[in-house]
Structure 1
Amino acid sequence: MTTSLQQVGLAVKRLQWRHHREMNRRLTPLGLSLVQWDTLRHLDANPGASLHQLAELTFQTDQSMGELAKRMVDRGLIERVDGAGRKVQHQLTPTGYELRRAGGEVADSVLADTLGHLSAGERDTLHELLVKATADS
């Protein structure tokens, strides 16, 4: 019997949902939500990113990213810096960097609970297939 597209899609969604729930649970002691940690992670990888760029990277709307960034600035996790012209850029504070690092350890532990059961070859194949499925046609 061939696995249907819907079965595959549902399996991907269930794994994603499991990861999100567990990451939020394990990030709570750090005072972070998954979306906050994800913002820190993307800002670390893309220093000086605009709010619009961060919104795209974290699957947020520009408006929700603006509200989230304001709260993160107020908490001392990120700071606004002047960019070219009137552009406002963002960067991690030392506290934000430390929480990004600690959150990365949490993410690794959550992913190890699921994807860690796959062999290195299976993980490589899964990654290749997911990249292929998300590539623009």
Structure 2
Amino acid sequence: MKNSGVPLPQGIEIGALSRIIRHHFADRIEQVIHPLGLTLGQWTVLRELKRTPGASASELARAAVHTPQAVSRLVRSLQEKGLVERSPARGRVVDNHLTAEGHRVVDETFVQIEARLAPALEKFGKAHTEELRRLSHLLIQALEDPA
């Protein structure tokens, strides 16, 4: 998916653009997390647990865009690594929390990932970055609207 300096066609559809952007973002994230023995799926779960402590597997699945079964496997693997702890909550629902080591790993990887993205975002400029964020939120809202 590397562009290798070839200009992208002007009429490329938004779906293709989003896949290309996702690929480049994922590549930067993987450069940071793979040396720590983490997959992108595991890191995504850690990131979501940082944002929503105590989230259940189904809540994490919605946020991480995975199936609840896949998230349950990811959470168990993170528990085995000592990054997540689980506790009974509401009936059969289990709450998931980052351990102190899990918090450390997420905080450390956020800093490293931001550092890897910074050169590209600096070229993009602060105003364009904020506009991209604003437009992305609008697009997400529009896509989530059932109408």
Give me the TM-score of the superposition, normalised by structure 1: 0.87
Tell me the number of residue pairs that the alignment of Structure 1 and Structure 2 aligns: 134
Measure the CA separation in 1 of the matches of 2:19 and 2:119. 17
Secondary structure (helix, strand or coil) at the match of 2:87 reads: strand
Deviates more, 1:92-101 or 1:127-136: 127-136
Deviates more, 1:109-118 or 1:83-92: 109-118
Structure 2: any 5+ residue segments left out of the alignment?
1-9
Secondary structure (helix, strand or coil) at the match of 1:89 reads: strand
Q: Does 1:106 align with 2:112?
A: yes
2:140 alignment counterpart: 134
1:27–1:106 CA contact under 8 A, matched in 2: no
1:19–1:110 CA contact under 8 A, matched in 2: no
Q: Which runs of at least 4 in structure 1 moved beyond 6 Å after TM superposition?
A: none
1:38 alignment counterpart: 44
C-alpha RMSD over aligned residues: 1.7
Q: Does 1:52 align with 2:76?
A: no
2:61–2:67 CA contact under 8 A, matched in 1: yes
1:120 alignment counterpart: 126
Secondary structure (helix, strand or coil) at the match of 1:80 reads: strand
Higher RCO (CA 8 Å, separation ≥ 6 residues): 1
Measure the CA separation in 2 of the matches of 1:99 and 1:68. 16
Secondary structure (helix, strand or coil) at the match of 1:135 reads: helix
2:47–2:106 CA contact under 8 A, matched in 1: yes
Measure the CA separation in 2 of the matches of 1:109 and 1:11. 23
